[in-house]
Each structure stands twice: as C-alpha cells, then as structure tokens.
Chains A and B, each alone.
Chain A
Amino acid sequence: MNQTPTPPDRHDNDHWLVRPATIRKLWIGLGIVLALTVLAQALVPIKGYFGADDWFGFAALFGFGSCVAMVVIAKLLGVVVKRDERYYDD
C-alpha cells in the first residue's frame, strides 16, 4: 500500500528547549509561579518600612512598573544618543 509520508514537524529536529510546545509550557509555568509569589503574601505578610511597601503585591507591581519605566526611558534616550556602530571609526 502506498502511504503518503506525513511531513515532519520542522521543529522536531530542534533542541527540545526551543520547541513551541516547550515554550508554551514555560509560559504557563512562569504564570503559575508569578501567581503563587503574589498569593503567598496572604500567608507570609511582608513588612513595610515606608508605608506603601506592605501593600498586597507591591513588590510585583513595583518591579514590573520600574522595568517598564526604565525600558521606555532607554528607548527615548536611544532616539538622542544612538548612532551607527561605525560612528567613531569614520
């Protein structure tokens, strides 16, 4: 019987870590870990030193917000200071 060969998944030969299935699992895993670290605050109260830092999920929000702010600032500064890498050679 003539069987049509199934086309091989182009990711099959790649390293398992970079296959889409693994990456999807990693994202799910990350999501669970992130949720757990915030929810754990219900069991382990975080002591605040300056008011806001004992809010529920403060560190999570502060870390995320600071990083977004820094990337945006870098992006804006980049408009002014970025040059072609041969700038000083020319």
Chain B
Amino acid sequence: MIDWLPPGLILLAGAVLVPLTRGWLRTAVVLGAPLVTLWAIWQLPDGVSLTAPFLKYEIELIEASAVRRLFATIFAIMSFVGGLYAFRQARSYELAAALAYAAGAVGVCFAGDLITLFLFWELMAIFSTVIVWCGGTERSRAAGIRYAIMHLLGGVILKVGIEGVVIHTGSIQLQPMLATNFDTWMILIGILINAAAPPISAWLADAYPESSPTGSVFLSAFTTKTAVLALILLFPGEPVLVGVGLYMIFYGIIYALLENDARRILAYSIVNQVGFMVCAVGIGTQTALNGAAAHAFAHIIYKALLFMSAGVVIYRTGLSKCSDLGGLFRTMPITTVCGIIGALAISSFPLTSGFTTKTLISEAAIGESLALVYFLLTAASAGVFLHAGIKFPWFVFFQKDSGLRPKDAPWNMTAAMLLFATLCILMGVFPQPFYALLPYPVDFDAYQPAKILFYLQLLLFSGLAFFLLLPWMQRTLTISLDTDWLWRVLFLRVAAWILQGGSTAGQVLVSAVGDRLAALQQWTGRHWGRDGVFARSWPIGTTALWIAILLSTYVLIYYR
C-alpha cells in the first residue's frame, strides 16, 4: 500500500489525460485530479519524503511543512473550483494547460531544493503562457509572447542566482537567506519578477486580461502566489521587501483607478494585494509570515471569485470595458452578488476572509512598531475598497443602464462562484479553524469591537469618497502607459532610428557594422564557401595521411 503519491504528478497525469478523454470522463479527470491531489497533499509527512539523483546532486522532489501544505492546499482547491467553472466552456487544451500549470505550482510548494524549485518554476511559465494564448485573439498571441519573454528572462535571472549560490556555498538546499551578494540578489529578482514587482509589474496587467474568460481565473491564482511562497521560504525578513511591497500596493491602486477594462482593474488589484504579502514577508516576524500565508490563501479565493464574475460578464456579453457595461444587476443577480462578496472580501470588510487575514499583516506592523508602514497599509486598505471594492462592481453591475440584458451564469459557473463566495464568508465568520492551518501558532482575535469599528469607519468613509468623487472617476477610452512602454515603444523606435540611418551617428554605426559584417561574410565564404578550403572534399587517403602525421608528431612530443 502506498502511503502517499507526489501531488504534482497527479495533476500532471490529469493534464495528459484531459486531451485524450471526452464527455463525462473528461469532466471526471478535470474535477477528480485536483481532489485526489488535495487528498495526497494531506497524506504527506513533514520533512523530505522523496529524493532523486540529478547530475551529482540528490534533489529533494518533495519536502512538506505547514506553510508548503497550506499553499498546495489552496492551489488544489483552486484547480478544482476553477475546473468546475471552466469545464463546460473552456477548450480541452486550455483545461489541460491549467492542470499542468497547477502541477507546476504544487511542485514549487513541495520543492525541497533550488533545482527542483527551478524545474517546476519553468513548468508554470510554459503552461501559463499557453493559457494566455488560449485567449485566441491576435492581442492574446502578442501578449503571450511578451509574457513568455518576461518569464523566461525571470527564469534566466533566477537560474543565474541559483548557479551562483550552488557554486559558492556547495549547497542546493532551499533555506532562508538575505539579499547580500550578487547570487542572492539574482534569486530575489528572479522571484520578484514572478510576483509582478516593480519596475516590471506591467506584464501582469498586459497578459492576464487577454486570456479567455476562464483562463484569467487560473492565471490569477498561481504565478504570483508561488512567488510569495518562495519569498516566505527564502527571504523572510528581507528589509528591501517592505519597500517593494508598499510600492506594489500603491501602484496597483493608482493604475486600477485609471483603468477602464474590468479585468485589467482586477489585474492591477492582484499587484496591489501581492504587495501586502511581499511587505509582510519583509517584516518577517511569525505574525507577519502567518499574515502573508493567510492573505495569499484568502486572496486566491476572492480574486478568483472576482475574475469569475468578470468572466461570466465577458462570456455573456463579449464586453469587458466599464464604459460599455453597467446595469447588469437586473438580469445577472447571482453574478452580481458573488462579485460584491468578492469585492467586500478583497476590501477586508468585517465578516469576510480579507478582514481576518489582512489584519494579521497590520498587527505584524504594530508588533514591530513600524508606524509609517502601519499607516500606509491602513491608507491602502481604504484604497483597495475604492478601486476594487466599489469601483469594480459599481461600473460593471450598476453605474448606468447599458441596455444589455444578458442571462446570468451557466450552472457550473454559478456553482463555482457560490462555492468561493461561501468560503469568503466562512473564513471571515469562523477564522479560527483556518488560523490552525497557518505555519505558526496564532494568538490573535480580529473581532475586537474597537478593531471592527476602526475598519468600518475607514471603509465606509472611503465609500463616501468614491461616490462624492464619482464625476472624476468616469471611465474614458484610454489605457495607461507603464514601464513596458520602454521595450514596446522606445527600444523599437531607437532601433528603427538606427536602422533607417536617421542621423550621421546612425549612418556611421550602420556603415561600420555593415563593413565588418561584409568582411566577415567574405572571410567565411572564402574558407567555408563552395570552393573554400574547409568545404572541399578530400580523398580518404589524404585524411588518413594527415591523421598519421599528427598522431606521430603527438607521440614524438609526448615521449621527449
């Protein structure tokens, strides 16, 4: 009897089986693989339980601990509910890619060493790109290529860091470190790229909204949260993360406020929420790490719920811009209510999961007497209610009567949304069973009357600010430039300018490079060309003669 199975392998097997099956059998695979994975996750004993020889190293394919199990659990739950949401609408290759992507994420959770981490990290990069491409449009094709380039670049940087650490310390162990030298900085940057940290946060809002309505639900969950887990395991207490996290928090809010596309608002909001987690990892105390892990868990649920409600709207109407939407609550009551529950949870409204998890992070800032961080986190909580808590449901479901009267969600999408909406509330009302799963003991009560009152004041007055400033919030048919403008526009313009010889310097450069290239081409042609010395056919005897001469010379030199 096998006590346990590698959880990632189960999802990977599911990914292989999905394209080979049809009908109810395929549904069974899509829904069954994550459930079996969830079972397998909870069979794993703590510590290393599976190793394999790789090159000259003994890699640890599976190492379990409380925090690893927590992340793997939510990834498995996400795969199941995401599968339920998508199995009737998504194409089979998108479902297969989603399971393989989830397998990568679960693999990262249990990676005991840096090499295994890297392997599963790249598995995620590949299959998440496939999901972006499943959007099936020209824009999603282009966004997928930009996404792949960014993640392959991140992978290379991570690999350089891992190689450096392995060479300089001789250890492939995945253990806490600080960014103190080139190697560790490279690892940190490689991970932060996946967390959508500055200065290249733009990949997330560029790629996720171009995927299919079902694809964005999967994309919202895995990549950034595995990065948070990697930070918890490798860089707890790294001071630079506090600043990086705070930047992400406000970047997400400001860009979401400027945005017109419903899914892009939610994408910026991911950066904002991951910022809370990154900041918590930077604080690095037990309460902070509990907060980061708990918030990641809760975030996956309510963010997927928000993407699901946006996905239903796009699935039913084909529209995603706030300026085209509005008034959908009339015919989509379930989607509206689920969207509002997700929006309240992300805003950490009392009685929702966001409240019981985000307050842990604020508590950690209080515990370390970080006054500025605490006030910025509090201001950001107000900002989250502004950009995601009210703006998203208001512009999509209320606002004005767009005249659209779409049907509500299909039954499977409804079931998935109701499941996650229920979880958002259950985790908010009964947080203690969830706290018991966290990596460190929790001695914290979110529901102190003073704390509830503080957050009610904060959030309700943010709501007032939203409605008073509504004339300033009206959406325009615009996008907002980000740092990706540098490589999407500036680099191309500079390259075009040089190639067109737009200046004397450009012409000199082009002619100098051109002359060198021409000389190189001639030289190559002379030696390797049709009649070049290296391209001629030689009689076998001549070759044998030359070998004999060379060998004799070698023997003579050797014996001298």
Chain B, 253-287, CB within 8 A of any chain A CB: 253-254, 257-258, 260
B378 within 8 A of A: yes
Give the chain A neighbours of B472 by CB distance below 8 A.
71, 75
**Size category of the binding interface on chain A:** 35 or more
Given contacts A44-B449, A44-B450, A45-B450, whether A70 and B253 have CB atoms under 8 Å apart is yes
B461 within 8 A of A: yes
Contact B457 A59, beta carbon cutoff 8 Å: yes
Give the chain A neighbours of B315 by CB distance below 8 A.
none
Contact A64 B465, beta carbon cutoff 8 Å: yes
- Name which of B329, B375, B455, B461 has the most chain A CB atoms within 10 A of its CB: B461
A21 within 8 A of B: no
A39 to B388, CA, bound (A): 27
| Chain-A contact segment, one of B48-56, B112-120, B474-482 | B474-482
Contact A47 B258, beta carbon cutoff 8 Å: no
Interface residues of chain A: helix, strand, loop or mixed (majority) = helix
Contact B465 A63, beta carbon cutoff 8 Å: yes
Given contacts A44-B449, A44-B450, whether A60 and B458 have CB atoms under 8 Å apart is yes
Chain A, 64-86, CB within 8 A of any chain B CB: 64, 66-71, 73-75, 77-78, 80-85
Query: A1-34 vs B: 1/0 string, CB under 8 Å?
Result: 0000000000000110110000000000010011
A83 to B386, CA, bound (A): 23
Give the chain A neighbours of B254 by CB distance below 8 A.
70, 73-74, 77
B434 within 8 A of A: no
Q: How many residues does chain B have at the interface if contact means C-beta atoms less than 8 Å apart?
A: 48
Contact of A40 (CB < 8 Å), options: B253, B398, B453: B453
- Name which of A30, A68, A70 has the most chain B CB atoms within 10 A of its CB: A70
Residue on B nearest A87 in the bound complex, by CB? B479
Contact of A46 (CB < 8 Å), options: B371, B453, B463, B476: B453
A34 to B466, CA, bound (A): 14
A78 to B382, CA, bound (A): 20
Contact A63 B458, beta carbon cutoff 8 Å: yes
Contact B480 A81, beta carbon cutoff 8 Å: yes
Residue on A nearest B383 in the bound complex, by CB? A70
Contact B382 A63, beta carbon cutoff 8 Å: yes
- Output the least CB separation between A31 and chain B (Å): 9
A61 to B450, CA, bound (A): 16
B379 within 8 A of A: yes
A75 to B257, CA, bound (A): 9
Apart from A46-B453, A66-B383, list 14 A-B contacts with CB within 8 A.
A46-B450, A49-B374, A50-B371, A53-B454, A63-B458, A67-B466, A70-B379, A71-B386, A71-B472, A81-B258, A82-B258, A82-B478, A82-B480, A87-B479
**A→B interface (CB under 8 Å):** 14-15, 17-18, 30, 33-34, 37-38, 40-41, 44-47, 49-50, 53, 57-64, 66-71, 73-75, 77-78, 80-85, 87-88
30 examples of A-B residue contacts, CB within 8 angstroms: A17-B329, A34-B464, A37-B453, A44-B453, A45-B450, A49-B366, A49-B371, A50-B374, A53-B378, A53-B454, A57-B457, A58-B457, A59-B455, A59-B461, A60-B457, A60-B461, A62-B375, A63-B382, A67-B469, A70-B254, A70-B257, A70-B386, A71-B386, A71-B473, A77-B254, A80-B481, A82-B476, A83-B480, A84-B478, A87-B481
